[in-house]
Structure 1
Amino acid sequence: MLAPFLSGYLLGLSLIVAIGAQNAFVLRQGLRGDHVWLVTLTCAVSDAVLIVVGVEGLAQVQTALPAIVPWMRYAGAAFLLLYAARALRAALRAGGTLSPAAGGAPGLAATLATCLALTWLNPHVYLDTVLLIGSVAASQGEGRPLFAAGAIAASFSFFLALGHGARLLRPLFARPLTWRVLDGVVAVTMAVLALGLLTSG
């Protein structure tokens, strides 16, 4: 009976471990200790909602409404480019800090808005959590609920570990140069993801 749960867990984990806009944001918040619980739970709950949507058979939305696909792609690319520009600007400055106040960290509302945008404006999240997980779940028969539970558990465990485990890297990120490198990597990653979206259609 645990096989569908384990299958869902492993698939869900494999889809979210790769570096991306959402993971980079969670890592940064975790390093700063800034609204970590809010960010990690927002990401995990969002994934859970999308997984349920996919498993319950609503993964055909993009097929039924093909006109929405380009708009999702362009909106996601635009947001990723804006985020890349912000990260590049931070990389070119004096360097970050572990202190949210000293770094001019955004407030609760702005942090939540950024987190939601990085999650819901990313077309890949729909391809991964809705279409892919939904299609694999369809082959699980009566094990679909356990499969979905496994995928959801993977999301919660990963984001909680990433956000709250980031503090173990704080000694490394006590140096401004490390923040510059991180912001530079984030900027390049976001730009590559955006270009990938623009050229995938």
Structure 2
Amino acid sequence: MTTLPASAFLGGFALTFSLIVSLGAQNLFLLRQGLRREHVGAVVAFCILADILLMAAGVAGIGRLLQAVPGLAAWLTLGGAAFLAWYGYGAAQRAWRGGAGAAAARAAGTPLAATLLQAAAITLLNPHVYLDTVLLVGVAGSALAAEARPLFLAGAGSASLIWFAGLGYGARLLAPLFARPGAWRVLDGAVAAVMLLLAIGLLASLRGSLGIGQQP
């Protein structure tokens, strides 16, 4: 029993860290904010808080409720695909313009409220976020003994804190590279490609779950 606290904490940390380190929409958005040094603290705090709340809901058993509402996943998927396509289109425009146009857009900045709304949409309209936090992490945590669940959640939350804070504030180390406009065009092009591919993937999964185009 003496190893229970450490194993529960490390289990939550390892599982969450393995899921969170990926080239996804949320990580690319935070990376871009970190490179621009714009509202980094607020976006980092939002990402950490959203992760912890979703994982806590999963550990509390909310994942079973989500599975019990048949139309919810489809609407989340459709909304997420639409937003990712819109955001990807904007990134593609920035990559295409490049030069003075993109630099002027970066210099103008984005208000804090609008930035947090974008962060919320990228986070909460992506069904994969619920799969990772509410279902995968939540199911793993809820399977533990009641006294081990807070420690598991503390480990999971620590992984989110370390990753998001490191990504957001560590992005400035790449500032010398992104002093060149061409580097921003590459980043925006990568963001556009990832966002549009994720949107297509979400629509494909929705099409498959609804049975559209399948032979009877």
Shorter-chain TM-score above 0.5: yes
Among 63, 70, 86, which residue is 2:67 paired with? 63
- Are residue 155 (structure 1) and residue 160 (structure 2) matched? yes
In the TM superposition, residue 138 of structure 1 has moved relative to its aligned partner by 2.2
Q: 1:71 to 1:2 in 2, by over 3 A?
A: same
| Preserved contact between residue 91 and residue 183 of structure 1 (Cα < 8 Å) | yes
Q: 1:96 to 1:18 in 2, by over 3 A?
A: farther
TM-score by length of 2: 0.88
In the TM superposition, residue 145 of structure 1 has moved relative to its aligned partner by 1.2
Query: Please, what is the CA RMSD of the aligned residues?
Result: 1.8
- Are residue 37 (structure 1) and residue 41 (structure 2) matched? yes
| Long gaps (5+) in structure 1 | none
Could you list the per-position Cα deviations for residues 65-117 of structure 1 after superposition, in whole angstroms to 9, with x for gaps in the alignment? Answer: 11111111000000000010000000001248998875322111111111111
TM-score by length of 1: 0.95
Q: Residue in 2 aligned with 1:172?
A: 177
Q: 1:17 to 1:100 in 2, by over 3 A?
A: farther
| Preserved contact between residue 96 and residue 179 of structure 1 (Cα < 8 Å) | no
| Preserved contact between residue 30 and residue 36 of structure 1 (Cα < 8 Å) | yes
* Worse-matched range after superposition: 72-81 or 133-142: 133-142
- Are residue 103 (structure 1) and residue 122 (structure 2) matched? no
Aligned residues: 201
Among 119, 124, 127, which residue is 1:123 paired with? 127
Q: Distance in 1 between matches of 2:196 and 2:163?
A: 24
| Preserved contact between residue 13 and residue 159 of structure 2 (Cα < 8 Å) | yes
Q: Residue in 1 aligned with 2:195?
A: 190
Superposition pairs for residues 57-96 of structure 1, below 5 Å?
57-95=61-99
Instruction: For 1:144, give the aligned amino acid.
Output: R
Q: Distance in 2 between matches of 1:7 and 1:96?
A: 48
Q: Residue in 2 aligned with 1:25?
A: 29
Q: Distance in 2 between matches of 1:167 and 1:187?
A: 21
* Worse-matched range after superposition: 77-86 or 143-152: 143-152
Q: Distance in 2 between matches of 1:47 and 1:196?
A: 22
Q: Residue in 2 aligned with 1:144?
A: 149
Q: Residue in 1 aligned with 2:13?
A: 9
Instruction: For 1:2, give the aligned amino acid.
Output: A
